[in-house]
A = this chain, B = another copy of it.
């Protein structure tokens, strides 16, 4: 029995799918509260009641958008992992930055949506949260920052987050940053990639503070530190 989401993906031009796309675009641009169901319906060219017929209430539609995006991210990460399997860390980072930048710069709404889901207090869909967490854990292991999925130190997770955020930010913030840099879209992509590599690669390759500096137990001793 396919889920509603899978069914929608099977027929890429169905009304239901078009609603999902329009919703992703608009939610990505304006956030959950900044979008009305009427805006989405108008974007698709349908009536509000048709939207509710397919996706239930606004909250449910939003969650579906996030789940859909999470799946897409997952596929992208798998694709990257396939590309860089067995390569040294510097190469892994280089390729990952290239691919993720290309993807997110072409889908700025997705990047924005990821940001919103990270930072908005409206965080719903603990299911999606769990997915993101799993992605980050996988990346930590893949980068050699942890020996095991079940033993990722907070510092390792934090370092992955730093990489993750850096990439997403430049994609999501293009509308704000690019006018500031006074360059066109193509140059922006180039500058972003160069900057990310400049920032990220030295830290992880010049391993002064590399993988084995802190214990790989998942709970560090700092838990109850109150001076």
Contacts and interface: CB of A to CB of B under 8 A. Distances in A.
A107 interface: no
Given A180-B133, A199-B200, A203-B203, A173 B119 contact: yes
B122 A176 contact: no
A80 interface: no
A225 B187 contact: yes
A182 B219 contact: yes
Given A115-B115, A187-B225, A158 B195 contact: yes
**How many of these chains are in the complex?**
2
What's the interface size class on A, roughly? 35 or more
B177 A166 contact: no
B162 A31 contact: no
A199 B145 CA distance: 14
A59 interface: no
Given A182-B218, A220-B187, A173 B118 contact: yes
A48 interface: no
Interface of A: 29-34, 112, 115, 118-123, 129, 133, 136, 154-155, 157-159, 161-163, 165-166, 169-170, 172-173, 175-177, 180-184, 186-187, 190-192, 194-196, 198-200, 202-203, 206, 208-209, 218-220, 222-226
